[in-house]
Structure formats: C-alpha cells, structure tokens
Amino acid sequence: MARTIAFSVDGPIDRDDLPGLCARICGLLERHRPRLALCDVGGIDPDAVTVEALARLQLGASRHGCLILLENASAELLELVVLMGLDDVLAG
C-alpha cells in the first residue's frame, strides 16, 4: 500500500459540491490507505466554502488514519484558514 498519495482539488467549489468531493476523496483514501496525502490546492479560490471543503476532507482523512498536507496554497487561502481558526486542522 502507498504510504503517500497526491491529488488536486480544483475550483470553484460550491457548497453543493461538498458531499461529492468528500465522497470521492474518502474513496481514494479507502482504496490506497495512505498515511499522508498531498493535496494541491493551487487552482482553488480562497473563500469560506473552500476552507470548509478542506476541513471536511481533513476530517474524513483522519477517520482513515491519514493526514492531508496542502500544497501550492496561496497566501490568501492560508490567511483565511488562520482567520477561521483552522490552522491547527489544515496544514499548509
């Protein structure tokens, strides 16, 4: 089994997209059972829905014994993560 996998999340992300996005990523984690997932977020807009999506993904990953690290996150996205108090949950 792979110990590390990589995937990307592209945007824009609408609130209605969240259940499907979470299901797809959790399915990926279930199949590969990595300890670490590198998530390229360079193509998404820094907004509250995006941060919610990433937090949900991290929650799902933790249920699979996995940690998601954000790659290529913009400064604006990381600032929003901090502003929303999720910097302990989402690692950039």
| Distance separating alpha carbons of residues 10 and 42, to the nearest angstrom | 8
Q: Which CATH class is domain 4-83?
A: alpha beta
pLDDT of 2 over the 70 cut: no
State yes or no: pLDDT of 55 exceeds 80.
yes
Q: Taking the domains of the chain in order of start, what are their residue ranges?
A: 4-83
Give me the sheet containing 4-8, strands edge to edge: 4-8, 36-40, 67-71
- What tens digit of pLDDT does each residue of 15-53 get? 999 999 999 999 999 999 999 999 999 989 999 999 999
